[in-house]
Amino acid sequence: MQNFEYYNRTKIIFGKGTEKQAGDETAKYAKRVLLHHSGGHAAKSGILDSVKDSLKKAGVSWVELDGVKPNPRLSKVYEGIEIVKKEKLEFILAVGGGSVIDSAKAIAIGALYDGDVWDFYDHKKTATLALPVATVLTIPAAGSESSVSSVITNEKGPWKQSVDEECIRPVFSILNPEFTYSLPPYQTACGVADMLAHIMERYFTKEPHVELTDELCEGAMRTIIRNARKVFSGGEKDYDARAEIMWAGSIAHNNLLSTGRIGDWASHVIEHELSAVYDIAHGAGLSIVFPAWIKYNLKGDVMRFARFAKKVWGVDGSFYDPEQAALEGIFRLKNFFRSIGLPVSFADAKLGTDRINEMAKRAVKFGPVGNFKKLDAGDVEAIYRIAAE
Amino acid sequence: MQNFEYYNRTKIIFGKGTEKQAGDETAKYAKRVLLHHSGGHAAKSGILDSVKDSLKKAGVSWVELDGVKPNPRLSKVYEGIEIVKKEKLEFILAVGGGSVIDSAKAIAIGALYDGDVWDFYDHKKTATLALPVATVLTIPAAGSESSVSSVITNEKGPWKQSVDEECIRPVFSILNPEFTYSLPPYQTACGVADMLAHIMERYFTKEPHVELTDELCEGAMRTIIRNARKVFSGGEKDYDARAEIMWAGSIAHNNLLSTGRIGDWASHVIEHELSAVYDIAHGAGLSIVFPAWIKYNLKGDVMRFARFAKKVWGVDGSFYDPEQAALEGIFRLKNFFRSIGLPVSFADAKLGTDRINEMAKRAVKFGPVGNFKKLDAGDVEAIYRIAAE
């Protein structure tokens, strides 16, 4: 087990009707805020109105900025920074999923910086100051509601890059599982893939003696899988199934599950190129990339992948042929993704293979990716090719 | 699943050599501190010297107060409050186990209060203000290093009562598993019982649809049991086994495992009377009380206790006779406690049965205890009688 620090100061407010607390919680920090959202699901479902009511009651005024898209764009971030500076806003309340929250975090660091906010994403500057950010989560997926991460797409490239700093961790996040009843099934499925991927990135480690977090990761993955099956078998409005998924999605990415471990994170980088180039949903990119990543790395630690197959997918472990068990685990993972409507290959998502070379090169532009095995451009290309089979 | 709030701001610094960070971390808060310890294990093993070196290097001065005993006493708390007030200290650094930390927390609220600090423990006042407390943990057990709880014994009664308020949650806690190599086996065992009990108090709930936390609880319990067996089979200095136990002990009580659930907590109250009257270690009291509590409550939810037997103890679940499976779970729990040298009955600990009536009455002095089933004096007496069988 590695030495570690664990600190997560986000206050989670979870359950039915909790969006009514948004105003009072916000008022503890500021009276003039940027209200950031996509203009889609949150606005149409009435969630946004409910949040506005709560702000009004608490005497908090706001300036609204909508239009955030999946794979949130740098241009929208610039727009937000300008508004915050001009209106002297002191706080950013994101109502939405990971894209809106990531965009809010980018605005929060950009608003206190005189240069170009992209400097932080381009690793030229380290973010240490940010306006406080809080969230009302409507799409369980990215775990951004209690994480230090923000991923932004610079349309110029397109480049999809991230900042991971303590200063952008939300001060509070409100999670009402009822908000997820009305999500389109594809978005629910992408969220499920994203949270499973967050756990797998942590779970597939070569660090030995990480039993407690192995157990916690496996329990969280089983819970997500079981409850996703419920939701996709007519349980769209099953509160408890939605609640299990929503809370698991937060825990998947709040860093508890990485304590003492060395996470991998290559699959995320490899996926970011896919969604930067093809603008497909991050979760759908992950359901294509991750099974291929496992297959490529299988012999790097057959027993860990066999354990994954046994503990998460219930594969009968064969002491004589753990590799076969591990392969069966990949089969079941792909099968699960397909069963909830996700692509598991380039063909499924109707992606061409002509840009594989270009994406592989760009994935390693800051150097080799991943920790389980350090992957160079050739490795990444091979993984894309497996996914394209 | 219940609505919940989850917030835990304690910064955990975990691993080999981390005590060297005590000075720099403390210096972020104060330059003059109370250094609180027992004068036992921490002082004799060199841990305290290492912490003092680190404080010196960071320019932090201290006043020392030792002599904390297991079941920490109110008289020592009064002593600490007087020193803090007289010397105008701004911070309390506890080096030790749960007793030292609980004593430090009591001093932290008493130092900012003009009345008698017992008012808080006697539920006459609610604690909202405290000096910052931090810990260097030497005994994994109570989970006090990131909890809001403090339990103090008032020698006058003897009464053993608790405060559970956010203001006493440590600002940071340093956990170095190497510190636990030199613990006497009995203390290691008591710690293991205490952390298992913290999880069981949360796990045995009648709240339905708490799958994620069920899984996390079960994984943490299995990890503790497996690694305790390693430590007690010649693994006293097995770093990884000690590390798994130490981190699990924190997670057992940092409230993540209660999210969405209603915990029971009757066994803790029932045990507090045992250790108040007989001054036995809290963990040893719990290993006596908890199996009896389960047996008494078995028919309240046979399937939950059968699940406990299956998932935590590997009992073959019988679909035709879950009660038998549940009973086998109790048998294995007791067996495990005995195998690490803990008592599981009054006789094992050489306790008389003459004060059962008195203890049962006192356990319910603030009203019925527990949530799984509300227990009155008669119920508590019956549980003591099962434990005395």
Q: Summarize pLDDT for A163-178 with one digit per residue, the tens.
A: 999 999 999 999 999 9
Chain B residues whose beta carbon lies within 8 Å of the beta carbon of residue A251 = 212, 256
In the predicted structure, residue B289 carries a pLDDT above the cut 80: yes
**In whole angstroms, what is the distance from residue B104 CA to residue B36 CA?**
7
Query: What's the confidence (pLDDT) of residue A258?
Result: 96
Find which of B172, B174, B244 to mutate to test the A interface (most A CBs within 10 Å of its CB): B244
Residues of A in contact with B10 (CB under 8 A): 7
Query: What pLDDT was estimated at residue B176?
Result: 98
What confidence score (pLDDT) does residue A215 get? 98
Does residue A54 belong to the interface with chain B, where contact is any CB pair within 8 Å?
no
Q: Which residue of A has its CA nearest to B243?
A: A1
Can you tell me the distance from the alpha carbon of A342 to that of A347, in angstroms, rounded to the nearest whole number? 12
Residues in chain A closer than 8 A to B243 (CB atoms) = 1, 209, 260
Q: Phi and psi of A35, rounded to 5°?
A: -100, 110
CB B169 within 8 A of CB B275: no
Q: Can you list the residues of chain A whose pLDDT is less than 70?
A: none
B46: left (phi over 0), alpha (psi -120 to 50) or beta: left
Confirm or reject contact between B15 and chain A (CB < 8 A).
Answer: yes
Tell me the two tokens of residue B140: 């994994």
C-alpha A261/C-alpha A213 separation (Å) is 8
Distance from CA of A78 to the nearest CA of B (A): 32
Does B212 contact A226 at a Cβ distance shorter than 8 Å? no
B369 beta partners: B375
DSSP 8-state secondary structure symbol assigned to residue A177: G
Optimal mutation site among B1, B175, B192, B223, interface A, most CBs of chain A within 10 A: B1
Put simply, the answer to whether B211 touches A220 (Cβ < 8 Å) is no
d(CA A321, CA A339): 27
**A9 — contact with chain B (CB < 8 Å)?**
yes
Location of structure tokens 């157990």? A215
Chain B CB within 8 Å of residue A15 CB:
yes
- Cβ–Cβ contact B21 with A under 8 A: no
Average pLDDT over residues B257-262: 97
A12 in reach of chain B (CB within 8 A): yes
Q: Is A68 helix (H, G, I), strand (E, B) or coil?
A: coil
- pLDDT band for B318, please (50, 70, 90 cuts): confident
pLDDT digits (tens, 9 = 90+) for B344-386: 999 999 999 999 999 999 999 999 999 999 999 999 999 999 9
Over residues B11-36, mean pLDDT: 98
Number of CB atoms found within 10 A of residue B49's CB: 12
Give burial (CB, 10 Å; 0-12/13-18/19+) of A184: exposed
HSE-CB for A309 with a 13 A CA cutoff: 28
- Residue A158 is predicted with a pLDDT of 82
C-alpha span between A343 and A358 (Å, rounded): 22
Would you give the distance in Å from CA A89 to the centre of its chain? 27
Tell me the shortest Cα–Cα distance from B6 to chain A, in angstroms: 5
| A185-388 to CATH, choices 1.10.3370.10, 3.40.50.460, 1.20.1090.10, 3.40.50.10800 | 1.20.1090.10
Chain B CB contacts of A17 below 8 Å:
3
Q: How many whole angstroms separate alpha carbon A264 and alpha carbon B197?
A: 34
Instruction: Give B-chain residues touching A229 at CB under 8 angstroms.
Output: none
Closest residue of B to A244, CA-based? B212
Q: Measured between alpha carbons, how far is B235 from B244 in angstroms, rounded to an integer?
A: 13
State the SS3 of A303-353: HHHHHHHHHHHCCCCCCCCHHHHHHHHHHHHHHHHHHCCCCCCCCCCCCCC
CB contacts of B4 in chain A (<8 Å) are: 12, 14-15
In chain B, CATH 1.20.1090.10 sits at 185-388
Q: Do B215 and A226 touch (CB under 8 A)?
A: no
Q: In the prediction, which pLDDT does A32 show? A: 97
Options 1.20.1200.10, 3.90.1480.20, 3.40.1160.10, 3.40.50.1970; CATH of A11-178:
3.40.50.1970
For position A155, what pLDDT does the model report? Answer: 93
Q: Residue B382's closest CA among B280, B160, B370?
A: B370
Burial A301-332 (b: 16+ CB within 10 A, else e): bbebbbbbbbbbbebebeeeebeebbbbbbeb
CB A211 to CB B220 under 8 A?
no
Confidence band for B320, pLDDT divided at 50, 70 and 90: confident
Interchain contact B212–A (C-beta under 8 A)? yes
- Yes or no, beta carbons of B3 and A17 under 8 Å apart: yes
- Distinct helix (H) and strand (E) counts, chain B: 15, 8
Can you give the pLDDT at residue A160? 87
Q: Classify burial at A124, counting beta carbons within 10 Å of its beta carbon; exposed 0-12, middle 13-18, buried 19 or more.
A: exposed
Q: What is the pLDDT of residue B140?
A: 96
Pull the structure tokens for residue B84. Answer: 């803090």
Q: Chain B residue closest to A246 (CA)?
A: B212
Q: Are B95 and B42 in contact (CB under 8 A)?
A: yes
- Residue B319: the pLDDT is 76
Amino acid A369 reads V
Tokens 């009536």 correspond to: B357
Q: Is the pLDDT of residue B158 over 90?
A: no
pLDDT at A372: 98
Is B209 in contact with A244 (Cβ distance < 8 A)? yes
Identify the pLDDT of residue A95.
98
Q: Does B389 touch chain A (CB under 8 A)?
A: no
Question: Which residues are CB-contacts of A375 (< 8 A; sequence separation ≥ 6)?
Answer: A266, A364, A368, A369, A383
- Read off the pLDDT of each residue in B180-196 and give the average, rounded to a whole number: 96
pLDDT above 70 covers a percentage of chain B that reads: 100
Q: Is the pLDDT of residue B146 over 90?
A: yes
Mean per-residue pLDDT for B93-121? 98
Name the minimum distance, in Å, from the CA of B128 to any CA of chain A.
17
The answer to whether B223 contacts chain A (CB < 8 Å) is yes
CA distance A306 to chain B (A): 18
CB contact under 8 A, B259 and A14: yes
Half-sphere exposure of B281 (CA within 13 A, CB side): 21
Q: Quote the pLDDT of residue A319.
A: 76
Count other Cβ atoms within 10 Å, centred on residue A63. Answer: 15
Domain with CATH 3.40.50.1970 in chain A: 11-178
Model pLDDT, residue B34: 98
In chain A, what residues touch B254 (CB-CB under 8 Å)?
A: none
